Amino acid sequence: MRIWTYLLAATVTIALSGCAPFGTSKAERVARLEADLNDGYQSRQYAYQNFDPATTTDYVDLATLPPSQTWDDWFPLEASDTTKYSFEIQDVSSDSVRVRVTGPVAFDGPRTLDADLVRIGLEWYINRLELSGYPLPIVD
């Protein structure tokens, strides 16, 4: 009986926290983007994989252009500054995540990043990013 109580409590906790126990949650998807931005050129060139190709208008550009023409413009890297980008989730709603972003001096943060996400099966994917300081979405 006690095992069932623990299993029920764990299930309710997972359901209420927005985790996808067999997929990628919204928070995990944003964390993967953060890791891609922090792991240098090799990882940045694959950051497009965090986005849904069907609903992200800029998907082809993210997948084919070098990071120097995409991610480096929005999230600059400085060779002399070893500060990593830090994403602190502020709010999670039904289809978006609001994140406080800090980073290297050249980033001029903190800034707010709003990520719209779409669920495909058990996986959440980003399909739009808005970064404070830019008049338009950086990824649409």
Residue 39 identity (one-letter amino acid): D
DSSP state of 67: G
pLDDT tens profile 40-84: 888 999 999 999 999 999 999 999 999 999 999 999 988 777 889
Please give the CATH topology (third level) of the domain spanning 26-131.
Answer: Nuclear Transport Factor 2; Chain: A, (3.10.450)
Of 92, 110, 94, residue with least CA distance to 102:
110
Q: Any idea how long the chain is? A: 140
Of 99, 126, 103, residue with least CA distance to 114:
99
User: Which of 8-12, 38-42, 52-56, 111-115 has the least mean pLDDT?
Assistant: 8-12
For residue 19, pLDDT beyond 70 = no
For residue 17, pLDDT beyond 70 = no
DSSP sequence for 35-63:
HHHHSHHHHHTTGGGGB-TTT-TTHHHHH
Query: What's the predicted TM-score (pTM) here?
Result: 0.83
pLDDT tens profile 90-101: 999 999 999 999
